[in-house]
Amino acid sequence: MIGLTPALSHHSCQVLVIGSGAGGATTAALLAESGVDVLIVEEGPWIEQDSVVPFSLDQMDRQYRSGGVTVALGRPSIAYTEGRCAGGGTEINSGLYRRPSEETLDRWRTGYAIHDFDDDTFYAACDEVERSLSVQTVPGRHTPASERLRRGAERLGWQHDEIPRWMTYPDGDDAAAGRRQSMTRTYLPRAVLAGARLLCDHRVDRLILDRARAFRAELTGPGQAPATIDFEHVIVCAGAIQTPALLQRSGFRGLVGRALSVHPTVKLAARFDEAINVVDDVPVHQVKEFSPDLSFGGSASHPGLVALALTDSWAAMREAVTSWPEIAVYYAAITSQGRGRVVAIPGMRDPLVTYRLTRRDRDLLGQGLARLALVMLEAGARDVYPSFKNAPIVSSRADLANLTSGFSAAAASVMTVHLCSTVPMGSDSSRAAADSHGRVFGADNVYVNDASLLPDAPGVNPQASVMAVALRNARRFIGEEL
């Protein structure tokens, strides 16, 4: 464990960074390495990566907000997850990494009038991230569940590939010995080595402003002990849900929190004739035949998560749970046209989150689940268990018609792990809530530098986008504001 800053009733710093995930850790490292006095505040604890089993219930209890039980209300409601620990979401996700496309960057640049956002500079930042995180493909054999997905796509002639991960493999081609290069192993140690201080287990409740300038943060520490931090600048990197909630509690309104964008997903469990389940890893292959609207991949398949995938039709599917070693969970994800909101409610600790799927979104989820089931049948699955109420067990192509006719998004277990766009950046103030480099409109010294800034969900895992934007904005801040 790196050295942590002790809890006091009052702190001061030049730049306060709120949040220690992909945006916050990157920002803090660059600022500290430039000689800036940085204090990083993290609401959750420091958890050593090797002390928890990935994707286990223990990890959910210790590193997820509310044990992973958080939801955006709507029809249907969408379950989502947030990391609540040092390193944020990088500690709990699968480490899959993909750059956004040139088409995505152009859509953001033109749609939101983002200045100084050229492709070459952005992808150079991606190069830097990939070196820092050791982004690479698996050096040895893939997991059986990943191979099944690849095999099914290959037999259908559908486009597919292996997604690289930010991993190191100290034992050469032993993929099982890979170590995820999360923020607690990369940018946070860099920040602390350069002089940044890290204060864990402290929640920033609100920022205090004098007209357009923030100067103090009010915090709650362990045991609900109050604390304050005085600063010259503040950069909020608490994630796409907590960042807009904090800004709203601090008096910011306008477009803050009004354009949440996610990648909704539906899941199924596929049972094969042999053991394929790897409880602490996920498949690295994805199917991109219908990209960017629709993609397929593998999910965590811990026994508890297999059981969860079967619960919507438990009466018909419960007997399968005892065969969990032969079962893996897969997902179909869509690029949604719908949007949601994050609203801080006075007196409530957590914000109200809502999301509305469009008719196109709901139809696409059903199409995606049916096509994913077809991939699994082609991969050799003996039975496929879709995750929606009263779903049929799919054992042949003839059963796909029953799946399609019986599917309803309102009856499905829709979820997401990718949350974006609640403080979108750009110079077009009719669509953006922060300027082209993350300064919140209406403030002189309040910045955002996390997934909240992305104008919409990029159609791929957003971590590459988040970190490249964070590098870009941090360098602009160092050159222009200090």
Q: What is the mean pLDDT of residues 124-135?
A: 98
| Res. 171 pLDDT band, cuts 50 70 90 | confident
Do 371 and 296 contact (CB within 8 A), yes or no?
yes
Q: Dihedrals φ, ψ of 224, to 5°?
A: 65, 25
In contact, 301 and 279? CB cutoff 8 Å: yes
pLDDT surpasses 70 at 349: yes
**Host H or E run for residue 265:** strand 265-271
- What lies within 8 Å, CB to CB, of 144 at 6+ separation is 274, 275, 276, 278, 328
Q: Give residue 8's pLDDT band: very low, low, confident or very high (50, 70, 90).
A: confident
C-alpha 128/C-alpha 126 separation (Å) is 5
Structure tokens at 413: 């277990």
Question: pLDDT tens for residues 231-269?
Answer: 999 999 999 999 999 999 999 999 999 999 999 999 999
The strand ranges marked E within 335-418 are 339-343, 352-356, 383-386, 415-416
pTM given for the model: 0.96
3-class state of residue 56 by DSSP = coil
Residues 6+ apart with CB under 8 A from 343: 248, 257, 351, 352, 353, 354
Other CB atoms within a 10 A radius of the CB of residue 119 amount to: 11
Q: How far apart (Å, rounded) are the C-alpha atoms in residues 284 and 272?
A: 19
Q: Tens of pLDDT along 423-456?
A: 999 999 999 999 999 999 999 999 999 999 999 9
* pLDDT tens digits along 103-123: 999 999 999 999 999 999 999
Q: Cis link prior to 292 (omega < 30° from 0)? A: yes
Longest C-alpha distance within the chain, in Å? 67
- What pLDDT sits at residue 56? 85
Mean pLDDT of the 47-63 span: 90
Omega before residue 76 within 30° of 0, cis: yes
Could you give the residue numbers annotated as active site?
418
Q: What gap in Å lies between CA 410 and CA 312, rounded to an integer?
A: 12
Determine the Cα–Cα distance for residues 470 and 473; give it in Å rounded to an integer. Answer: 5
- 306, 327 contact by CB (below 8 A): yes
- Class of 10-46+85-134+182-256+421-481 in CATH: alpha beta
Residues ≥6 apart with Cβ < 8 Å to 114: 108, 425, 426, 427, 436, 455
**Whole-number Å distance between alpha carbons of 135 and 306:** 29
Q: Taking 70 as the threshold, does the pLDDT of residue 168 lie above it?
A: yes
